[in-house]
Structure 1
Amino acid sequence: MSTSTTPPMPLNPATSSASNHGPSNDVASFKEFLSSSKRVLALCGAGLGASSGLDTFRGTGGMWRNYRAESLATPQAFKREPGLVWLFYSYRRHKALAAKPNKGHFALAELARRMKKDGENEEGFVCLTQNVDGLAQRANHPEGSLKLLHGCLYDIKCSSPSCNYRERNNFDDPYHPSLAITDPEDSRITPVANDIQGIIASLDPNRHASTVPISDLPHCPTCKSNLLRPDIVWFGESLPENTLQEVDAWIEKDKIDLMLVVGTTAVVYPAAAYVDTARKAGARIAVVNIDGDRLGSAGGLRKDDWLFVGDAEEILAEILGLDEAKDGGHRSA
């Protein structure tokens, strides 16, 4: 994580503002356009939380106990190995609670406050986050402007679709005594098995043995018969319908001036489709990402778009031009 006060931009000559073919990385032109924008949409991914020290569990960055995160974030995995899945999410809760919102979170929160139309319920800025770490909320991002596409680590629900038990904003660490992190290996992110040491580790049966018996896991206090689970969207599950309806209603109301794509390769659908939707609604696109070559649905940027390659925390604090965002040491819960 970069701690420099000078943001790492522009980094990619191919995206220079002098180019007539690709997107710009000119901060001044972006700020000028932002200042005149009335409606702004943002899509944020794991790269924003990475600046706070959280693992992205993407690409070659790491695995948990030699399991790919995607293989544990499914209903099928929970049905097959609920103890293992719960331990994974207990680890993620533990890490997220220890992390602090960074300048990027504060910049987005302040942008939401500044774009709120006086005397109206209409939000000038809507932030769609794929992150479940709760850092945006802890940066005091206005609730009406923040749309949680994948849920939150601190929300719990019954695993049975027929039971309506839900628990909000539970910050206990651990959530349940059986999920306490006592093994140092719980906090170890192991390398993808593409070298000899990684292969040896992946073949060690003891690395896969530690789990929690079903009888010791948290059970629903309402129906009494089913396990509780994190109230987040797993692969193969639908995004929250109410949230999607709210976002669609906002998009359809009027022209969108600008879309920010922050810390995500925009490859997970249906969330990634919002980039195309915003474009069709008239938006220019600004991408902030550590990797300028892997942009998913945010690729195909035009010369009147922007691409800022580097640390999301530092870049957002710079391009949003918010004084409050530059005080990274305040307001952490």
Structure 2
Amino acid sequence: MAPRTSIAEFRELVNSSDRIMALLGAGLSAASGLPTFRGAGGLWRNHESTSLATPEAFEADPALVSLFYAWRKHMALKAKPNAGHYALAELAKRKDNFLCLSQNVDGLSSQAGHPESKLRLLHGSILDVTCFNKCGYVEYNNLSDPPCPALAPASEDYPPDQTMPLLDPNMPAPKIELEDLLHCPNCKTGLLRPGVVWFGEALDETMLDDIDDWIMLGRIDLMLVVGTTAAIAPAASYIYDAQQQGAVVAVVNPDPDSADGLGSSDFFFQGSAAEILPQLFVGVIGVMDGDVCQILVSITKFTTPPNVFSLPI
């Protein structure tokens, strides 16, 4: 049978739930103007985005990878949290036993005021920098944009009708000398890299142990899956672990295929998390007004039947 789509039933579940876990993906930040990591064909200057997110890529061409991440950091710093970020932050403040696992590195959940004690950044933060030589140097919440003068082309802004030269594969990439990139102030030899988890790297073991301990504390009433297909480990395993602890799964995603695998006791809400989440949590967080997230949440705003919530893709 198909998963449930009733707002009223879901609100009752949220209101009565004690332990709630959420798994967040890039779809949450899409409404803030941030492209998904694999969006737009997954290309950046004709490079597969995923091919630039490895230690091997950085070692082979640190200038190119640094430009890519300087551009992503610039985009993240320009972006603002959307209503979905604020709704989750408010839910976390009102639910003592709430744990949010985010695969996003953009820093928008923290900017929205999500309590840090209830937020785990699985893949790190693009605002952090660390030493590629692993000497132990880490700098948190570095807001430099560009990170250094050599990477200034990644922080240029152009009108919407103009293509940024850096993003045009037909334009030569800026020539950057190795010595002009940021070097570690601690060991003096290693290059600085973004504090994100690249493909082939292990997630923080202490954080993973902390998450596992939280899961095993007892029954989980609700597992929220927002803006992610949960295709990369350990994301998928956390959904399974929550189900083993009794959780009802609720998926919020514009892709109808994201409902695959959900049971009749689960929920699926198709559409943008920025529009859906504030409505789903009204019973706990109240109505969010324009001063908080630039939208006014009102059920009467929509023409869908009162028990069914579905937004166009």
Provide the TM-score with structure 2 as the length reference: 0.86
Q: Which amino acid in 2 is paired with 1:136?
A: S
1:164 aligned residue (136, 142, 167):
136
Q: Distance in 2 between matches of 1:325 and 1:213?
A: 52
Q: Does 1:330 align with 2:292?
A: yes
Paired position in structure 1 for 2:301: none
Q: Distance in 2 between matches of 1:324 and 1:27?
A: 15
Q: Does 1:143 align with 2:97?
A: no
In the alignment, structure 2 segments of 5+ residues that lack a partner are 295-313
Determine if contact 2:103/2:122 at 8 Å carries over to the other structure.
yes
Q: Distance in 1 between matches of 2:87 and 2:293?
A: 12
In the alignment, structure 1 segments of 5+ residues that lack a partner are 1-20, 117-123, 191-200
Q: Does 1:77 align with 2:38?
A: no
Distance 1:171 1:178, change over 3 A: same
1:331 positional shift: 7.9
Distance 1:68 1:242, change over 3 A: same
Q: Does 1:29 align with 2:1?
A: no
Paired position in structure 1 for 2:302: none
Determine if contact 1:107/1:316 at 8 Å carries over to the other structure.
yes
Q: Which amino acid in 1 is paired with 2:243?
A: R
Q: Distance in 2 between matches of 1:263 and 1:137?
A: 17
Determine if contact 1:103/1:325 at 8 Å carries over to the other structure.
no
Q: Deviations over 1:69-125 (max 9, x none)?
A: 101111111011110111111101111111100110011011111012xxxxxxx11
Q: Which amino acid in 1 is paired with 2:74?
A: H
Provide the TM-score with structure 1 as the length reference: 0.81
Distance 1:265 1:278, change over 3 A: same
Q: Distance in 2 between matches of 1:328 and 1:250?
A: 35
Distance 1:325 1:164, change over 3 A: farther
1:1-333 paired onto structure 2 within 5 Å: 21-116=1-96, 124-161=97-134, 163-181=135-153, 186=164, 204=170, 206-207=171-172, 209-293=173-257, 295=258, 299-321=260-282, 326-330=288-292
Q: Distance in 2 between matches of 1:226 and 1:328?
A: 46
Determine if contact 2:55/2:198 at 8 Å carries over to the other structure.
yes
Q: Distance in 2 between matches of 1:222 and 1:331?
A: 41
Q: Distance in 2 between matches of 1:242 and 1:43?
A: 18
Q: Distance in 2 between matches of 1:186 and 1:69?
A: 17
Q: Distance in 2 between matches of 1:280 and 1:324?
A: 31
Distance 1:125 1:249, change over 3 A: same
- Count of residues paired in the alignment: 287
Q: Distance in 1 between matches of 2:165 and 2:17?
A: 43
Q: Distance in 2 between matches of 1:187 and 1:252?
A: 50
Q: What secondary structure sits across from 2:216 in the alignment?
A: helix
1:221 positional shift: 0.7
Identity over aligned pairs, percent: 51
Determine if contact 1:103/1:328 at 8 Å carries over to the other structure.
no
Q: Distance in 2 between matches of 1:324 and 1:70?
A: 40
Determine if contact 1:261/1:286 at 8 Å carries over to the other structure.
yes
Q: Distance in 1 between matches of 2:292 and 2:143?
A: 20
Q: What secondary structure sits across from 1:272 in the alignment?
A: helix
1:177 positional shift: 1.5
Q: Which amino acid in 2 is paired with 1:326?
A: M
Q: What secondary structure sits across from 2:67 in the alignment?
A: helix
Determine if contact 1:51/1:102 at 8 Å carries over to the other structure.
yes
Q: What secondary structure sits across from 2:69 in the alignment?
A: helix
Q: Which amino acid in 1 is paired with 2:180?
A: D
Q: Distance in 2 between matches of 1:157 and 1:37?
A: 39
Q: Distance in 2 between matches of 1:318 and 1:130?
A: 23
